[in-house]
Chain A
Amino acid sequence: MFDKFSATSSNWDLNSDSLSLSIVVPVFNTRAYLRQALDSLVSAPLSQVEVIIVHDGGADGSLALAVDWVRHTPMRACVIDQANAGLSAARMAGLARARGRFVGFLDSDDLADVAVLAAMAEAGEGMACDVVLCRSVVLESNTFAVSRFYDAHIWDLIMGGRRFRRVTLDQEPRLLRLEPNANPRVIRRSFLHQVGLAFPEGLLFEDMAPHVHGLARAGHVGLLNETGYWYRVGRPGKITDERSARRFDAIHSVGLAIDAAAGLSREACANLALQAVRLLYWCAQNVTNADRARFLREAIGVVRRLEPETLRLARVAYSTDERERLLLGAFATGAHRVLYDMAGRRRPAPWPWLRLAMHPEGRTVVKLGLRALARPALGAARRIGGKLRGAAHA
Chain B
Amino acid sequence: MIEPRGLRAALGALPAALPAGLAAEDAARLRAGFYGPLHAAAGGESPSALYVGGRSGLEALAALHRSPTATVLVVEPDAWLRGTLADALGQHAGARVVATVAEALAAAGGRGIGFARIDAPFCDVDLLALLERQGVGHLCGLFRPDRIDPLALYRRSRDQVARSFFWREADSPLAFGGDAGPVEVEVSVVVPAYRVSAEIDRCLASLAAQEIERLEVIVVDDGSPDDTGARAAEWAARHPGRIRVLAKPNGGCASARMVGLAAARGEYVGFVDGDDWADARMFEGLYQAATLGGAEIAQCGFVEAHADGVDIPCRDAAGGDGPGGLTGLVRDVREMLVLRPTIWRRIYRRDFLLGSDIRFPEHIRRFDDLPFQFEALARAKRTAVLPDPWYFYRQGRVGQDVLARDDRLFVHFEIFDWLRARVSTWADAAIERQLLRVELNTHLWALGRIEPQFSAEYRRRAQRQLLANRVHLPPAECLAIAARMGRRAGGLMLGAAARHGWARHGEAAP
Contact = CB atoms under 8 A, between A and B. Distances in A.
Contact of B177 (A33, A145, A293): A145
B351 interface: yes
Nearest to B70: A44
Interface stretch (B35-43, B254-262, B445-453): B35-43
Contacts of B426: 243, 288-289
B508 A227 contact: no
Interface string A225-247: 11110100010110000010000
A148 B1 contact: yes
B492 interface: no
Contacts of B510: 292-293, 296, 336-337, 340
B1 A344 contact: no
A125 B79 CA distance: 45
Contacts of A351: none
Interface in A170-215: none
Contacts of A243: 425-426
Contacts of A296: 510
Tell me what chain B mostly uses at the interface: helix, strand, loop, or mixed: loop
A146 B508 contact: no
Interface string B154-184: 0000000001111000000001111111000
Given A227-B5, A346-B429, A142 B66 contact: no
Interface residues of B, number: 57
A303 B178 CA distance: 40
The residue among A225, A226, A227, A288 with the most chain B CB atoms within 10 A of its own CB is: A227
A35 B180 CA distance: 10
Interface of A is mostly: mixed
Given A227-B5, A288-B426, A337-B510, A143 B179 contact: no
Contact of B176 (A143, A152, A236): A143
Contact of B1 (A111, A137, A236, A337): A137
A347 B5 contact: no
B490 interface: no
B8 interface: yes
B508 A225 contact: no
Interface in B1-25: 1-6, 8
B49 to A, nearest CB: 12
A327 interface: no
B13 to A, nearest CB: 14
Given A289-B426, A289-B471, A293-B508, A143 B181 contact: no
Interface string B26-66: 00000001001110001111110000000000000000001
B66 A115 contact: yes
B228 interface: no
B399 interface: no
B5 A163 contact: no
Given A293-B508, A344-B428, A39 B42 contact: yes
B67 A44 contact: yes
Interface of B: 1-6, 8, 33, 36-38, 42-47, 66-70, 137, 163-166, 175-181, 293-295, 351-352, 354-356, 381-382, 424-430, 471-472, 477, 508-510
Interface of A: 32-33, 35-36, 39-42, 44, 46, 74, 111, 113-116, 119, 135, 137, 139-148, 152, 163, 225-228, 230, 234, 236-237, 243, 285, 288-290, 292-293, 296, 336-337, 340, 344-347
15 contacts: A33-B179, A35-B163, A39-B42, A40-B43, A44-B45, A44-B47, A115-B5, A143-B177, A145-B33, A145-B166, A146-B1, A227-B5, A288-B425, A289-B471, A293-B508
